[in-house]
Each structure stands twice: as C-alpha cells, then as structure tokens.
Amino acid sequence: MAKKKFVFIITHSYDRPDLVAGAFQLAANMKAFDVELDFFLMDNGALLAKEGFAETLVWQKKGQFSPAHELMKTLIEDFDTKFYICASCVKHNELDKVKLIKNSEIKPGSYLGEMLMEREGLTF
C-alpha cells in the first residue's frame, strides 16, 4: 500500500488558537507513525512563522492540548516538519522584517496547489 502524504493548511493563529493547537497535536500524533506531513501557513496562520509568535497563544484550558508552541517545537525539532509560508501573506504580515522559525520557507500559492495534487489537504 502506498504511504499517505498530508499537508496541513493553517489559516488561523491568534484568532483561533484552539484550532492551531488541535492541528499541531494531530500532526504530532501522525508524525509518530512516520507519516509524510508538512504545513502551509496562510492568512492569519502565516503569523506562526514569526519566531516566538506561537508562544503568545495562551488560550488553553488545562489538560485540553499541549501548548501550541511546545507542539510546534516537537514538530520542528523531533520530526523535522517543514512549514511553508504563503508568499502573498509575507509582506502584509511584515514577515519580511522578522526572524522566521526554523524549517520555514516562503512559497507561492501555486506550491500549495502542487502539494495538493499529490497529498491530502487538511485545513484548520
């Protein structure tokens, strides 16, 4: 059986930190099974590419999910997950003026289209 591949499309950050934490939790669980999985950050989700931004997402109820920044760190450091940033979102989020997270790369929306032709997309 062919190995499944996924792209998590993250469109939220400060506006829905529960979705971000849930997506990161699901991704970490899936990566534990050696699934090929990367992220594409767009809209408000692009802000997650700013180093230190995930630490500001402190909405959580105790015991619901691990903190988003801890999950993101696990995805990057333990699983070497890639975070692609929508090129159209960079300038208006001033991401061109800040340090970006490790394993991140700016890509055009067409790159997401290419990924979706060979992967299953999950949008949060």
Tell me if 63 sits within 8 A of 38, measured CB to CB.
no
In the chain, where the domains are located: 5-123
At 77-123, the pLDDT tens digits run: 999 999 999 999 999 899 999 999 999 999 999 999 999 999 999 99
- pLDDT tens, position by position, 28-80: 999 999 899 999 999 999 999 999 999 998 765 666 678 899 999 999 999 99
CA 86 to CA 47: how far, in whole Å? Answer: 10
pTM more than 0.85: yes
Among the listed residues 39, 34, 45, 32, the one whose alpha carbon sits nearest the alpha carbon of residue 8: 39
Architecture of domain 5-123: 3-Layer(aba) Sandwich (3.40)
Pairing of strands 83-86, 104-107: parallel
> Is there a contact between 80 and 27 (Cβ–Cβ < 8 Å)?
no
In DSSP terms, 8 is beta-bridged to 39, 122
